[in-house]
Structure 1
Amino acid sequence: MAYINMLEIGIQIEKLHPIFVHLPIGTIVFAFLLELYALKKPSESMDEIGKLALSFSLVCAILSFASGWFLGKSGDYEPEMLSDHKWMAAFFVLANFLLLILRIGKIHWFKKVYLPLFGLTLLLVGVTGHLGGNMTHGTEFLFTPVQGNYIVITDIEKAKVYADIIQPIFDFKCSSCHNQNKKKGGLIINSQKGILNGGDSGNILDSFEGGPPQLLTSLSLPIAHEDHMPPKGKIQLSSEEITLINWWVDQGSCFDCFPKDLKRSKKIAEVLIGLEQDTTALAVLAGEMDFVSADKIKELQARGIPTYPLAKDNPLLSVNLSYNKKISSEQLNLLKGVAENVVELNLGYSNFSDTLSPYLKKFKNLVKLQLQQTPITDETIEKLKKHEWLESLNAYGTDMSTSSLETLKKLKRLKVLYVWNTQISEIALEQLAAVNPKLNFGIVADSVFAATTVEGPIFVADNNFFQEQLKVKIESYFEGVSIYYTLDGTKPDTTSLKYREPLILNESTQLKAVAHKTGWALSEITKEDYTHVKFKIAEVVLSPEPHEKYPGKGAVTLADLKRGSTNFVDGNWLGYEATHMETVLELKEQSEISSISVGALSAPSSWIFFPVGAKVWTSLNGVHYKKIAESSFPKEKPSTEVNTDFFSINFPKTAAKFIKVRVNSPLTNPAWHPNPGGSSWMFIDEIIVN
């Protein structure tokens, strides 16, 4: 009976170990600080306080040792490490006891050994605490890098289900209690072998009496339940993490499979896609930066510093000071408040020099820097050695030499380097290429840089779609330019219509415009489709559904009157891989129609191509359909540019309430593509009925 009572007391004491274990650490450190203070200002009161601190530390050490002794009998800890921890704890208690004896007795050799023994005691408590932490959190807990076992997934289809998706969840949420050093319940969960071996209750992936596996049961129990995992007080799994683990277990708990090997519901597909991360420099920086106020940008523009957001709803900025022969330190200082947001800085053909180069340090997040035809030397290039995000550097026509080689080697992300007409040698470029094999050198003929080109104009309108009329403004970032435009889709030049005032559009129009400045080359063409919408769509049905990666907003995407951008992941595109798209559009009321227009995207580098044709059927009742039109669209020419366009199918006026449209995909990449025959994509954003 006495044994049972002692055992029961022990069980209660072991639960107090997490409380007791921290007390001796704090009290022994406090006692040591008191001793140091007493050396400078000795007094009887300090002597008594010192004795009291050591006494309290000893009591706490004994309580911690006793509670830990009982806790160690649970069998949840690695025996060898537990033994080391116990011995260190015992030595610490002994050292604390000897300190107190010396402090009270004041033996004549007291001063010679007291402080060294105190130092040894502090060392012992540190080692003991470290070993205890290793048992609780794992041997690498203290010194593991911040990212730990964090897995970055850029393409979910290439990720391993267990190693890249499931195991990281176990590592961050479960392994602190179930590792090689602390096997709570006899279970190790941070390895495939440990999971398959199971714990005291058997394999956690096995089902019992027809119920779900132990793993799923533990995760689904109420948090207050004693068998809920992780236990109350620990970081809990998110609903998405529990969903993924349930999916993995339901699909057979495979350890070498990929997502494509397993069945997945729409919900699972959404969760998996959410794991993907865009790791490009611009994406990472955009996620870290705060937005710069519109007023601040306008202020910089008013002071002669062309500053613009890189894209709509994007905190990153582009600054263009090219051809400015009056750049000064005062002007660059104005950018100090937004320098971290600036990722593109164009200083080409300006007076920027080595004297002003120290200001480049403020622009630490530059991704693209243009210094062509400026009086800079290696001194300026040296200022870039800590610009870790720099991917493109244009030093054409500068005095950069081979001395800049070491700096360039440090720019690990550098992808494009323009070095034509510089002092850098071919041998140096070969050495640089060996260090950075992915680097492309912009070594081009002088004629490429002979003509200076202005930026293309920009269009400002409320929407790309209108029912009555639409006002469109055409603007340019540059001063002193003339803008010429066409409304019929033809290529504009300086003989085309000259822009003088906002345009009023009353019908569907493909607007093209160029900017021109005397002595400069004509800008690239800016193009936009503005579409007149006569009939509103009441309902849209898709067949088949788009690819789970690019579902847009569902069927309504085709009738929401919102054009997708050139970024195919902006949420406004329906993506189809190697398959045609078919949809049924229901008008609000029966009407006479004469054309269908399909909005599409082309991005050959991403295997996305325009549709190759379309067929149209109409119906009055949604049951019986009659084919009224079929059209083939022009074949795409070799290109790497990203474009959007509308493709129209015209036919005689036909009464209709329901319109069935089949948009034909090319299905495979064309022969001119770097990967001919590969499964291609088709992206559709709108279908307009007129």
Structure 2
Amino acid sequence: MRHYLSDWKAIIYNLAFFLNGLLIFLLVFESRFDVPGWMFPLGRLHPVVLHFPLVALLIYGCWTIIVEKQGSARWNADLAGILLLLGTFTATIAAFSGFILSKEDSEVSSTLLWHKYLGVGISIGSVAWYGLARYLSPWKIPAKSVSFLFIVLLLAAGHLGGNLTHGEDFLIIPSNFSEETAGKVSFEEAQVYENLIRPVLQQKCYSCHNADKSKGGLQMHTAELLLKGGKSGMLWDTTQKDLGLLLGRVHLPLDDKKHMPPRGKVQLTAEEVVLIAEWVRAGSDFKQKVRTLSPQNPVYSYAKNTLGGHRVGDIYTFEAADAEEVRALNTNYRVVKPYAPESPALFVNFYNKTAFKSSEISDLLPLKGQIVSMDFSKMPVKDEDLKIISQFTELRKLLLNFTEIQGKTLPELKKLPNLKELALSGTAVQISQIKALESFPSLTKVYLWSTALTTEEQQTLVNKKIRFETGFRSDTVIIALNPPVIENEQQIVMGSTGVKLNHQIPGTEIRYTLDGTWPDSSKALIYSQPIPITKNTTIKARAFKAGWYGSAPVDKMFIKATYHIDSVRLILPPDTKYKGKGPASLTDGIKSSTETGSGNWLGYRDTNFESLFFFDKPAKVGSLTISTLCNVGGSVFPPAHVEVWGGSDEHSLQLLKTIKPLLPGKMIEGSRELLIDANFDPQLLSCLKIIARPLSKLPSWHPAKGKKAWVFLDEVIVN
């Protein structure tokens, strides 16, 4: 090419030429091409690199258009050539990475297709443009026409890309549109979904889940599409502990690839998470008015702050807590946040009943001078915990709804000089204990919905200083009972321990089943005393009472354990990311939650699980249960192969049982516990050895097909 290209320019140009050829090949055979996992990080570079060709080619195009004549002072051939070459090469990289990004789990929309093909066209065209540049004099019409065409293509591709990432209205609607719109709605006319929920989804979710870009097959811009859900199923399920997919993804660690919104996007605030959770928990009514809610409802409080209402709040004179200390006290199950912007006051919300301990409260004592609100709703808070809570002297609002409070230590809360609101709905408090609240110095409102108080007792609660909210009662309206409470916290049962059931409302009949069916009001067993556990059993229970609808069901699995394992030795160590409590995780008698990051699971992928279990005295063993986890989306599968060995010591082991657990045959959303039972002829054993081999290749229907599966274990129970 008569030295038109110097050596380094030739290398860059030839590399761009080669990549474009590869890109054309991939487009032709796109339907047969599956992107390997290691290439997805290259696709994520697309938003980073696309700005280089956009700027370089736009400058070169404009430069060409303004050149007036040969020898113009506005034209520098060497600099222009380098600029065009850089634009060509980076356009190729942007197109190639964009193609990889388009293969991620997304629905293909017309916007995505146009953006992809325009990007590829610009990449191929820029290679041709650079190759023919020596024949296109910039001061002549053909060169200016090509430049003008490229500028149009660049602007069109950029606009479509912006629609994909920010939504169609990004250029014409300001980022604070939702707040401005919400603020113009009167409090009396505001709807929970339209004026509170939808603006949050619009800001935090629409950019990835709209008509043009429906990641995971999910679109969220209409109520109908929200209810429809995506490829992974419905967005919410009030029967689940985490309220289903939407809230489950929000509460995942930020580094988890399934966390929503993704890392790098604007995250939901704690108030917005509570807002959505409460709306879902209440039945996700798309037409509900804000004014119909109780002032106790967190959605009502959020609306007051968002929509206005001219409420005069407390003035806090205490100093703000150290930001690092507040951050350190935030966990996956406990949120500590400022009560309002620029305010030193803090509020605390607790999540995950199974992970709650009294230490979750005492750990917050360093912030007792700043916490003004605590929400323990549905947590297993007991009477003795009120002694700790009474030390938070700045507390104004305390929610104890549907906790295990009996009311015996309620006088402890009199030590809180600023307490104004106390919520005791769904608890077992008695009328005499409620009457004692009248002496509290600052208390002005008490919520007592769904308690055991009779109508006559409620009528005696007349006080000029305190307003007692007891809820709506009518002889013509039938409402549903709350579910019964399964009191046993530990799922592993030793000895003769029985399972206790309870209900807050006197005279309620609790019926239960042990065979996996849901109890009804006529055939199921009636609870009268603790239920003995003789084998691995799932107890399902409902509450019934004349004049009420039957409650929603509640269930819990219990695992029978006869022998205590005296010591454990791991032959092969677990993965460093999932090492739990080491050997103690297998014998501490504590069932972990179904979250892989709970800190109790032992995770294996690159090696087998192999461990020795020892008894100080020989035990007559005839079965054992291995507690594992299944999370198909997270590549956590049951082990492909399990072997149980036993003998008098580790050097004289014999194979007792081989098991091949049933493996999932399709995608299943969420995590669930899985028990693997091994039964064999009873015999005296002093040592057991268990080997569990992970699945070597995930099936073809799995997004990570061909990779190794994980195996997670947390308990071994011997009978």
Q: TM-score, normalised by structure 1?
A: 0.38
> Which of these two proteins has the greater Rg computed from alpha carbons?
1
Q: TM-score, normalised by structure 2?
A: 0.37
